[in-house]
Structure formats: C-alpha cells, structure tokens
Structure 1
Amino acid sequence: MDTRDLARIDLNLLLSLQVLLEEGSVSRAADRLNITQPAMSKTLLRLRDVFADPLFTRSGRGIQPTPRANELRGELQELLGGIDRLVKGEAFSPADYDGEITLALSEYIGVALLPPLIQRLHDLAPRLSIRTITRIENQLEQLAQGNLDFAIQIAQTTYPPAYRWQTLGSSPPAILVREGHPLTEGEVSWDRLASYPLIRLYISDLDHLEIARSSEAFIRARSPQQGSLETSHLLTALEVLRSTDYFLPGPAYLVRNEQATRGIAALPVPEGASYELQYRLVAHERTAHSALHNWLWEQILDTLRGLRVRTIHRG
C-alpha cells in the first residue's frame, strides 16, 4: 500500500463521485450534498484530475458516465459501504459471533455460575468461546491491558474511575470440614481450630480485598505444629476435606451445591472473624462501548439473578 497516493485522496471526493453516478446530474448532486452547483463543478474537476479521466460527458439528460466511471461504480459502492460499516460498526448478533472472551473467576464461584451461564451462552451464542482463568494476579491491570475481558472477584476496597463494577451478592463465611469431624461437636473456637491443619483456597489480589485482615486471622491462629495446604482447585480441596481432619474457611453458599459438597459440613466461624464475602463483576472502561461486552455483562447478571431465584424457591 502506497500511503503517499492515498494521502492525496479526499474521501469526500469519492462520496461526491458516488452521488454523481446515482443522480446523473451536477445540479441534483449539488442539492443532495448541500453545496452550490459551482462547488460541485469544481469537485468534478478534481475527480477528473485524480482518475485522469473525464468521468462524465454532458447530454440532453444531464451527464453520462464514461466507461471508466462505470468501472468505478461497483468498487465505489463496496468501498464506501465498507467505510460506513467501519465507522458505525456492524450490528452485533450473538448467534453469529465467533470470537473468544476471557473471564477471571475463582473455582468456587465457577462451580455455581458456569454451568447455567455456559448453557445460556450456548443457546444464544453457540459460536462464542469462553476462556476462564482461575489463578491470575493484578486483575485490574490485566483488564486494562486487554488480557482479561471480565473479572468476577471478591470485592476490593477501592476501584479506580476507569473501572465499572456491579455487586453480584454476598455470603457469610463458614468453616468447612468433613461430616463427623471433631469440630462438628461443640463450639468452634480459635484454640480448637489451631489443633487442625488448614486449607487455604487461593484468592487473587488478596492484599487489595476487603476481607484481607479477616483472612489473615485464620493464618495467625494456626499452630506451628499443624500443616497447611494452599490450592486454587476447589474440588481438590473438598476431596482432601472428605478424607482428612483439615478445615477450609470459605463461603457458606458452597454447601448449597449438594453434589459438589457431599459429605461436607459448614460450621460458624469463631468470634472475631465475622465478615461478608461480597462478589463483584468488574470490567475496564475500554469495553464500555462494545456491544459484545455489554451483552455478555447482562447475560452474567441475568444468570446470577436466576440462581438467586432458584435458591429462594428451594429454601
């Protein structure tokens, strides 16, 4: 592509040529473009210079295109139509979209959200590909850089103005243990917890979260004589719980998934660690005018609303 030649061309000239071809009259073309007839005649002179061809000859019925102008007719319509689509953007059709969206979320959120969300998206946008990432730090920066499209995360203390977010809901914390665990009998205290090993479920950007101090309480209370396990895989953590005396601090809503938490009991947290786990859907302003992203934002929110309705109905 020779950009020097392109720089010489005023796109308004091409639009004027298209109108001249459609109207077959200098005066009618001038009226349509809201300019004077002399100005339209000067435009035609410039077009003749650009294309090195008369383009039109006068006749009793106005102007007639030359063979060169007729050659340009089809290409010009396609070119101007492409420019129009480029500027306006094509109408978004979920059923036809075949790109990929990247979503960051923890596995314990994904267990509840992904099955109904993926089914909904398969029905509405069957060619859309969803890529989920369960372990990624600096999520706000990753959103800004375009490495992530959305993040569903535990609420951070603050969000810069460049980000939009929506609170999705909240859940009280719980101590998850196997059924029959010694902690299921009697009061759960810090001293009793210190007698058992801890599972820490990986949480992205923990230092920036509202629950950071409360989470540290479990780590500080752990006895040096007891081991610990950190994992980002919820199902792995639950399997460890079922066969050991480990305990896992986590959201109480997990036990609503009876299939995933079979054999797991949820106990109240000790005094001094009472807090709400608040979840938010987050995106960067770079996607604010994207029809795809705005549509998917609503699909995520609608899916979560449906989950809450079903939970209330079962309860």
Structure 2
Amino acid sequence: ARIDLNLLVHLDVLLREQNVTKAANHLGITQPAMSNGLKRLRNLFNDPLLVRTSDGMAPTELALTLKPQVREILSKVERVVQPERSFDLQSERVFRIMASDYAESTLIPEVLSEVRRQAPLVTLDVLTPSDVSFEDVEQGRVDMAINRFDTLPQSFHSKTIWGDSFSCLMSPENPVLENFDLDAYKGASHIWVSKTGFGVGVGINPQDVQRLGWVDEALNKIGGKRNIRVFTRHYQVAMLLAQQPDLIATLPTRAANLKSESAKLVVKTPPFEIPDFELKMAWSPLLQHNAGHKWLRGVIAEVSEKMR
C-alpha cells in the first residue's frame, strides 16, 4: 500500500534516458516533479539508482538489474489495459531499418515488394550499421536491426531470419579455377568484406586474425592465411572487384548467388570448411507490442520463410 506504482513508469524512463530533464520531457512533467520521483525511488529501493559521473548520469548495479524487470512489468500492464489493435494498412508510417549491406542486397528488396503490396503508403528508411547504435534501437528510434550479431543486449528481442554458408566469387579468367584446392586458395589474392554489429567501423589490421572474421578464423584453424589485397565493408563492391582476373571474394552464399548468372563471375564452393552463420532481426522491448511493428515483423518473417 505504501508503493506508488506510477514510480515504475518514472524508473523505466529514467533508466532509458539516464537524464532527469529528458525523462521529464518524455513523460510531459516538470523537471522538479521528475527529480522528486527519483528521490522517492531512491528511498523505495534504498539505492541511488542513478549517480552523476563525468559522462552524465550512470545506473548503479541494482538499477541495471531492475531495468529489464521493470520493462517486463510495464509491458504486461500495457497488454492488459490496451486492447489489441491491428495495423492500419493505409498508414503513412516510416519504418527505420538498420540493415547490413548483405541483408540490404538479399532480403530488403523482397521485403520492400511485400510491404508495397500490403501497405503501399508505408515508407522504409534503410540505415547502415554505421548510422546506428544499440541505444538507438533500445529506445525505439530505429525500428529494426537486421545483421549478423556476435552479441545483443539482454533486453532485446530477436528472431533468426535464416542461416547461410559461404561461397567464393571470382572471374572465369582467374587461374586458380584450373585446380581450385586449398593450396590454390591460400596462394591467391583476396578481397576481405564484412561489417557486422553497430557503430562506426575502424581500420583493419591484416595480422589480427581474431578480428578478421569467420573466413579467416576458419582458415587459421587449419594453418592457413589469406593474402588479402583489399578490404571493403560493402558486398556489392566486393562483387565488382571480384571481376578482376586474380582476386577472390569469399562471401555469404546468398550474396554470391546474386551474381550466379553473370558471365563475368563464377561461384565456387570454398576448398575448406567455414562455419555457417545466422542473419537475425533484433528490436527494442518498447516496440514488442506495437501493432505496426508486429505487422512489419510478420512481413519480414513471411518473406524470409518463402526465401528459405
């Protein structure tokens, strides 16, 4: 009886914004009212919850533990008090999707076709991984992230879109085609291409095998190393560069197969085993029960199932 459950709403927004003024603006209350709410929360939990640092307000260990629990509680309350609504297919909503170059090349064209068929006034704003941070997705500023992820925040929801293997793309004039074995692969010149996760990328050190990714880690395990001559973060660029007569691009098979009918390129199976990977979509718990977002997730799931 002594607990004001509205304080959980305050706590949810405070932990998301980590700023009293922004949290107050989000809830449409004054800063003193939000400061008073934070004071009451601190008394309730006997913990400062947010402490001031040189980088702004930072959550305490208890606050980090509470964050997903409070969000789950409020999500359940929202489901109880808000009736189920269907998405208006005449909506002019803009959905912002962060997609890797790989996903943008293979999945997004089919998704766009289905979106336009079902909801012709909807707009897709496709962003690159360098445009987006985990915080953007967590706070719902970006509706969806589609990529290969090494890790995701515990609070995120995610779904596997499909699994994929790797293939080699090269010119039909490449001399390694005469006997495309492991020795030929190691002796050739290569194009490295990758961009996973979020945020601005950094320069690559060719000697740092751990950061080069799946292909080079797999080759390293059998005592091999690629002779990488060019690094790119764009699969379409890698495909163009692979037309040169002495370069090999080792790409996800779905991306390589986009060029399977080109007279300028040949698709080959790598002469060693590279573990498959998963393409996933991830989104914020804030959007889990949003009618429009549920529709978009359904479209992506339906399209990817057909493509599988």
Normalising by structure 1, what TM-score? 0.59
Q: Write out aligned runs for 1:169-184 (5 A).
A: 169-184=162-177
Question: Which residue of the partner structure matches residue 122 of structure 2?
Answer: 128
How many residues matched? 216
Query: 2: CA distance between counterparts of 1:92 and 1:98?
Result: 15
Q: Write out aligned runs for 1:74-85 (5 A).
A: none
| Greater relative CO, 1 or 2 (CA 8 Å, sep 6+) | 2
Deviations 1:141-183 (A, max 9, x none): 3311334211111142x43331111111111112221223122
Query: 2: CA distance between counterparts of 1:183 and 1:277?
Result: 26
**Structure 1: 5+ residue runs without aligned partners?**
5-86, 309-315
Query: 2: CA distance between counterparts of 1:174 and 1:195?
Result: 17
| Cα pair distance change 1:292/1:93, threshold 3 Å | closer
Q: Are the equivalent residues in 2 in contact too, given 1:99–1:127 (CA < 8 A)?
A: yes
| Cα pair distance change 1:187/1:241, threshold 3 Å | closer
Instruction: Return the letter of the residue paired with 2:139.
Output: Q
Q: Are the equivalent residues in 2 in contact too, given 1:255–1:265 (CA < 8 A)?
A: no
| Correspondence 1:221 to 2:225 | yes
Q: Write out aligned runs for 1:101-112 (5 A).
A: 101-112=95-106
| Cα pair distance change 1:162/1:260, threshold 3 Å | farther
Structure 1 stretch displaced more, 111-120 or 298-307: 111-120
| Cα pair distance change 1:303/1:109, threshold 3 Å | same
Question: Which residue of the partner structure matches residue 185 of structure 1?
Answer: 178
Query: 2: CA distance between counterparts of 1:246 and 1:267?
Result: 13
| Correspondence 1:251 to 2:252 | yes
Query: 1: CA distance between counterparts of 2:137 and 2:153?
Result: 12
Query: 2: CA distance between counterparts of 1:261 and 1:154?
Result: 27
| Cα pair distance change 1:237/1:165, threshold 3 Å | same
Instruction: Return the letter of the residue paired with 2:134.
Output: L
Deviations 1:262-312 (A, max 9, x none): 5322223243x520021111112111121111110000000111222xxxx
Normalising by structure 2, what TM-score? 0.60
| Cα pair distance change 1:166/1:137, threshold 3 Å | same
Q: Write out aligned runs for 1:36-75 (5 A).
A: none
Cα distance, 1:258 vs structure 2: 4.7
**Structure 2: 5+ residue runs without aligned partners?**
1-28, 31-80, 202-209
| Cα pair distance change 1:169/1:262, threshold 3 Å | farther
- Secondary structure of the 2:239 match is helix
Deviations 1:50-107 (A, max 9, x none): xxxxxxxxxxxxxxxxxxxxxxxxxxxxxxxxxxxxx858944432211211111122
| Cα pair distance change 1:138/1:97, threshold 3 Å | closer
| Correspondence 1:154 to 2:148 | yes
Cα distance, 1:112 vs structure 2: 2.3
| Cα pair distance change 1:303/1:119, threshold 3 Å | same
Question: Which residue of the partner structure matches residue 33 of structure 2?
Answer: none
- Secondary structure of the 1:247 match is strand
Query: 2: CA distance between counterparts of 1:153 and 1:269?
Result: 23
Question: Which residue of the partner structure matches residue 287 of structure 2?
Answer: 287
Aligned identity (percent) is 16
Question: Which residue of the partner structure matches residue 264 of structure 1?
Answer: 265
Greater Rg over alpha carbons, structure: 1
Query: 1: CA distance between counterparts of 2:213 and 2:236?
Result: 26
Question: Which residue of the partner structure matches residue 9 of structure 1?
Answer: none
- Secondary structure of the 1:136 match is helix
Q: Are the equivalent residues in 1 in contact too, given 2:96–2:127 (CA < 8 A)?
A: yes
Query: 2: CA distance between counterparts of 1:287 and 1:200?
Result: 35
Query: 2: CA distance between counterparts of 1:276 and 1:128?
Result: 34
- Secondary structure of the 1:221 match is coil
Query: 2: CA distance between counterparts of 1:138 and 1:93?
Result: 26
**In angstroms, what is the RMSD of aligned CA positions?**
3.3
